[in-house]
Chain A
């Protein structure tokens, strides 16, 4: 990954197990977009896995493939041991309910013509369940909305942060075990972003959730995650416990990301042994580089990086890196 391997998978307690996930799309003008190229990971009970990467790294495609939106090209996605890939629509409706997703743009993920009370009750109703108003009120209160105030409102009458709270409430109505968040705070202002991140942490504890948190912002991902999986061009570069991200990350790509973050608190803090990308251009996912996919921008790259794909190797407790040259 920029290698492959599955040394990092755990033995037990998995809520989610993903094996050799591949997502490909036909490209305009022929060819295939290799969005996700054989990644494996798992999420254990009560864990938050952060998936970190820049645009085009396949993090959102991977998140959608978990939800079977659409089903991955190949590979396996198991929720509590139950296989989701290849299941029929009807089977999915029950099997997938334990996994819910919230998205980047909360306003466009809500039907503009529905009122909050109906939006929140929609999930169980779709499954033919009768929904009690008190339960809707309870969940609204749990996400920090006053049911009396928002009950009859429509999405355009709410702020972006409030809409994201409604989206979280919708997800919670189905009693999920796993919440997948795809850039849930990227479209929100800093002050509101902090509210939603705090809410996600509280919700996770209160409803005993596990979480997959997909985002491009390093500090945000670090704040909320237990483990972080760094992706580049459809492959996994590194898996690192989030407390070690800033100080002990080994993959040159992770280090490049870390050094690119503009910091408000430590302006001008330059590191001595800084790393610079040799090229600004992301290679095309239609024709990804051989071997390690990061090699075309990597200052450490040598011949072996082009000929051999690096495997994930153990670099410490819960820390795995796929690089021929990182000192593990």
Chain B
């Protein structure tokens, strides 16, 4: 069944519309993407950009119903996710698609021991016996870097720190060695020193298990240096996508450029005025016509409002695609020689 050359995940013109009391909210509005086996895609965007809804729609957590309409297609290893029955979807989730959310506490059942969280999925999807499942659970806890797994396995979630809980959630997601892991802001609730440990762990496990990962984050720094490819979302659409290094070196969409410039940088002297993006993201109940970033864009012209730019590449860089009539940084840039990183000693 499995076709090794086909992408693991193919999303085509996906639209997720949430019907609210105040009107239809087009949270995801025409997103297409491909993900190969073993590849890590970073999806970045600010709150309301639709990145989380995209992740959840890909997983099949949002389905067409009274409050939501899904259009377009999500194909996971040849299967149409939104054509599956609830039971088939559940089988897929436990075994082939894993997920990690921002808040580890809500992903864990407070009245169940850590071990139960892990053995449940192992027994259901792998058909392991009680003893074998417990052995495997201990192995998983060790694999995600939890010290003293034999003690931890009989603890309850509240007895662990946030970082340890997130490790447990990752262990649960990886229990059956899924082909695809969707991690939605996996480190946002964690301290920076713990964040780095969790991201390093994800990196290492991805390599060991050869899984594909979609890493969703509002923090460009989290995605830079880890993802193979990056997609920047704004107001429900991907505005730019490319191999990660190229996008961070020379963003072509003005929004991606502005987002990078708005981040305070540790290597620069203090009290520098930051390049803020004026205004706020659009109201998605009534998004602006044409390019949705146009009202905040310093390069915007009349055609930005009248014609919606398509996500396209140039002959020079076919894989670096952007949706903009007036792209920036197109000339080859001076090679970036990062100044001596100041943290170095």
Residues of A bordering B, CB below 8 Å: 54-55, 159, 161-162, 189-195, 197-198, 201, 216-220, 222-226, 242-243, 245-247, 255-269, 271-273, 277, 279-282
A260 and B193 form a contact (CB under 8 A): yes
* 11 interchain pairs, CB-CB under 8 A: A54-B193, A55-B191, A194-B274, A195-B276, A216-B191, A222-B266, A246-B266, A265-B265, A267-B248, A269-B341, A277-B193
B193 and A262 form a contact (CB under 8 A): no
Q: List residues of chain B with CB within 8 A of the CB of A242.
A: 270
Q: List residues of chain A with CB within 8 A of the CB of B278.
A: 195
A246 and B221 form a contact (CB under 8 A): no
Per-residue interface assignment for chain B, residues 193 to 219, with 1 indicating a CB less than 8 Å from any chain A CB and 0 otherwise: 111110100000000000000000011
A262 and B195 form a contact (CB under 8 A): yes
Q: List residues of chain A with CB within 8 A of the CB of B277.
A: 191-192, 194-195
A265 and B219 form a contact (CB under 8 A): no
A219 and B276 form a contact (CB under 8 A): no
Q: List residues of chain A with CB within 8 A of the CB of B272.
A: 223
A219 and B270 form a contact (CB under 8 A): no
B345 and A198 form a contact (CB under 8 A): no
Interface residues in B156-204 (C-beta closer than 8 Å to A): 161, 163-164, 191-197, 199
A258 is contacted by which of B219, B224, B266 (Cβ under 8 Å)?
A: B266
Per-residue interface assignment for chain B, residues 30 to 55, with 1 indicating a CB less than 8 Å from any chain A CB and 0 otherwise: 00000000000000001100000000
Q: List residues of chain B with CB within 8 A of the CB of A269.
A: 338, 341
Give the size category of B's interface with A. Answer: 35 or more
A264 and B224 form a contact (CB under 8 A): yes
B302: interface (CB < 8 Å): no
Closest B residue to A271 by CB, please name it.
B344
A272 to B341, CA, bound (A): 11
B262 and A201 form a contact (CB under 8 A): no
A267 to B164, CA, bound (A): 26
Q: List residues of chain A with CB within 8 A of the CB of B268.
A: 223
B273: interface (CB < 8 Å): yes
Closest B residue to A223 by CB, please name it.
B264
Interface residues in B216-251 (C-beta closer than 8 Å to A): 218-225, 244-245, 248
A159 and B280 form a contact (CB under 8 A): yes
Q: List residues of chain A with CB within 8 A of the CB of B197.
A: 280
A220 to B342, CA, bound (A): 16
Q: List residues of chain A with CB within 8 A of the CB of B342.
A: 246-247
Closest B residue to A263 by CB, please name it.
B221
A261 to B187, CA, bound (A): 12
Given contacts A260-B193, A266-B338, contact A190 B267 (CB under 8 A): no
A219 and B248 form a contact (CB under 8 A): no
A257 and B341 form a contact (CB under 8 A): no
B260: interface (CB < 8 Å): yes
Q: List residues of chain B with CB within 8 A of the CB of A263.
A: 221, 224-225, 265-266
Given contacts A54-B191, A264-B263, A280-B197, contact A223 B46 (CB under 8 A): no
A265 and B267 form a contact (CB under 8 A): yes
A272 to B267, CA, bound (A): 17
Interface residues in B271-290 (C-beta closer than 8 Å to A): 271-278, 280-281
B345 is contacted by which of A265, A268, A271, A282 (Cβ under 8 Å)?
A: A271
